[in-house]
Amino acid sequence: MAETNDAESSSVRRIVTGEGQNGEPVFASDGDVPAIETPLMPGAKFFSLWGADVLPALPDNGDEPPFRTWFPPAGGFRFELIELPPENENAAPPPDMKQALKETETRLPGLIQTMDPKKPGMHRTTRSI
C-alpha cells in the first residue's frame, strides 16, 4: 500500500507485510518513502517503493531486499511510483548539464542509459519484462 502524505507528495507511506515464524501474517514495517528528485527532471518525483534483484522466496519476513539499479535485472522486480508535473514548455535546462546527469545517475542508477534522447521521459523496455 502506498499513499501520499500531503499535497506536496514529498513522501509516500509504505506498509509492508511479511510472515511470522508460524506462517502467520505480520506487519513488517510502516514508514515513509522519500521522494527522489533530480535537476535533470525538474518537478518530477520518484518513489522507490520496493524491489529486489531476485524473486522473493517464502517464507519472507518482510525485510527490505537490496537492489542496485532503477530497472531490475532479469529475474528481479521493482515497484516504483513516479509523479510527473504538468508539461511546462518554459522549463529551463539545468545550468550545468554534466553535473545534472551525474546527480541523476547517482540518485536513479541506470535510468539515464535507457532514456530516449529524442523523446524526453521515454525509455526502452528492459530485458526484465
Tell me, yes or no, whether 9 lies in a domain: yes
Residue 123 located in a structural domain:
no
Q: Does pLDDT of 4 surpass 70?
A: no
Q: Can you give the pTM of this predicted structure?
A: 0.78
Q: Domain for residue 13, yes or no?
A: yes
Range of the domain at 99: 2-114
pLDDT above 80 for 55:
yes
- As for how many domains the chain has, the answer is 1
Residue 67 resides in a domain: yes
- From CA 88, how far away is CA 42, in angstroms rounded? 10
Position 16 in a domain: yes
Residue 106 dihedral angles phi and psi, to the nearest 5°: -70, -45
Residue 36: band (very low, low, confident or very high) from pLDDT cuts 50, 70, 90: very high
Cα maximum dimension of the chain:
57
Question: 3-state class of 74 per DSSP?
Answer: coil
